[in-house]
Amino acid sequence: MEKMEVYLDNGATTRPYPEVIKEMQRIMEEKYGNASSLHRFGSKAERIISSSRRTLAELFGSKDSEIIFTSGGTESNNLAIQGIARRYRRRGNHLITTALEHPSVLQSFQQLEEEGFEATYLLPDSTGAIDPQKIAEALTPHTVLVSIMHVNNEIGSIQPLARISSIIKKQNPGIFFHVDAVQSFGKFPLHPEELGIDALSISAHKFHGPKGIGALYLKEGVFLKPLFQGGGQEKGIRPGTENTPAVAGMALAARLCFDRQKDKIKQLRGFKEKLISSITAEHPQANLNGPQGEEGAPHILNISFPGLKGEVILHALEEHSIYVSTGSACHSGSQDPSHVLQAIGISDECLEGAVRISFSFLNTEKEIDYAAAKINSVISDLKKFQEARP
Ligand SMILES: Cc1ncc(COP(=O)(O)O)c(C=O)c1O
């Protein structure tokens, strides 16, 4: 079998599209002005920022003024959650989220708890689904903000945003609804206004754009207390000189993903199903974590091999130039057991033996065939080694 390098850690980050790299280089070379400068160089940069804002607004079906550029998903989540909660504190001090969220959401909630807010953390069922009825029951007259992720980065569970927002808004239209859409933007059409969403976070490096750039959709009429103080950029909501090449790279990557979305999503689902059937046929004791079939995101597969360690599997696959992750690499370095897998209540053995395999629009059928064969042989070898141990 011809040797290949197969990158299957796209939940952590994706390879930038070549068109994105080229466009960013062009802007760095030719349009390096500061968008706030009054001369021609400044206006050229400003035009790039404006047209990129328009591109994102078109994809969201929103107004240009509702797009705020940030440094990525972590900042967008911090800004939306802390900013809205602090700004509207007089309306109430109760917040709702789930136990499945990214640390940038969970730690924003913890920060707000330290400031005197009260928080409810909803638990998912065994597939990672949050029952909208539980949200209805958690709402109180003091609830000011609900923050729920769209697609979970570790197990690919998808929350029903329209149902959740209608429950929240029926109870009280003044409660704000924030969505972490970092893992779903680019893969699914997302119209925040139609879905009743007030704030929504995205991050370019998850959809073949550059790292360190993201955006927050903030519905017209919703205000927040900024995290930074400084210049007046982004209407003072997020001051700091705009990263023009990265903003343009993000807008181009978003446009390319939306153009390719329909065909590519079908392909990703095919890749996921192919790997599942190949692995489970050879290793029937493998356990699939999270939702199955159409219920789950097409690009995230979380699978446990009881008796083995996820980290050992990861490094054994790396020897064959196949790159996956254990749990989540978004807050990596940490060897702690995944809070998401714990929240869905899998056994300790499955918790230890979990790997996340995540696909992107740039993976190919040939890569998946290669990865399936290598994963199967690596697992067989590790099991033999394990059994031979005294
Ligand atoms: C669901 C989710 N939210 C937020 C983030 C943070 O985004 P960023 O890496 O752009 O800070 C990530 C990944 O890192 C993620 O998967």
Domain ranges of the chain: 6-15+261-388, 18-255
Ligand 1 site, residue 149, Cβ cutoff 6 A: yes
Pick the CATH number of 6-15+261-388 from 3.40.50.970, 3.90.1150.10, 3.10.450.50, 3.40.50.720: 3.90.1150.10
pLDDT at res. 327: 66
Instruction: Say yes or no to pLDDT of 330 above 80.
Output: no
Pick the CATH number of 18-255 from 3.90.1150.10, 3.40.50.300, 3.40.640.10, 3.50.50.60: 3.40.640.10
- Mutual orientation of helices 244-282 and 365-388 as an angle, nearest 10°? 50
Residue 390's pLDDT band (boundaries 50, 70, 90)? Answer: confident
- Pocket perturbation via mutation, ligand 1, pick of 13, 69, 71, 74 by most ligand atoms within 8 A of CB: 74
Instruction: Say yes or no to pLDDT of 195 above 90.
Output: yes
Ligand 1 site, residue 6, Cβ cutoff 6 A: no
Higher confidence at residue 355 or residue 327?
355
Percent of the chain with pLDDT over 90: 93
Instruction: Give residue-wise pLDDT tens across range 126-176.
Output: 999 999 999 999 999 999 999 999 999 999 999 999 999 999 999 999 999
Within 13 A of 214's CA, how many CA atoms are on the CB side? 27
pLDDT at res. 92: 96
Ligand 1 site, residue 102, Cβ cutoff 6 A: yes
* Spatial contact of 274 and 372, defined as CB atoms under 8 Å apart: yes
Instruction: Say yes or no to pLDDT of 40 above 50.
Output: yes
pLDDT at res. 129: 97
CA distance 266 to 190: 18
Residue 329's pLDDT band (boundaries 50, 70, 90)? Answer: very low
CA 331 to chain centre: 12
Atom of ligand 1 nearest to the CA of 205: 10
Instruction: Say yes or no to pLDDT of 114 above 90.
Output: yes
pLDDT at res. 388: 87
Token digits for 138?
């958690």
Residue 118 has φ and ψ, to the nearest 5°, of -110, 140
Ligand 1 site, residue 74, Cβ cutoff 6 A: yes
Long-range contacts at 314-321 (CB < 8 A, ≥ 24 apart): 314/355, 316/378, 316/381, 316/382, 317/374, 317/375, 317/378, 320/374, 320/378, 321/3, 321/4, 321/5, 321/6
Instruction: Give residue-wise pLDDT tens across range 17-38.
Output: 999 999 999 999 999 999 999 9
Q: Ligand 1: distance of its center to the CA of 182 in Å?
A: 6
Specify the amino acid at residue 329.
Answer: A
Residue 235's pLDDT band (boundaries 50, 70, 90)? Answer: very high
Using CA positions, which residue lies closest to atom 13 of ligand 1? 330
Q: ∠ at Cα 201 (74, 243), nearest 5°?
A: 70
Instruction: Say yes or no to pLDDT of 333 above 70.
Output: no
Ligand 1 site, residue 358, Cβ cutoff 6 A: no
Within 13 A of 382's CA, how many CA atoms are on the CB side? 21
CA distance 361 to 363: 6
Token digits for 67?
């797009």
pLDDT at res. 26: 98
| Beta-strand relationship, 199-203 and 176-180 | parallel
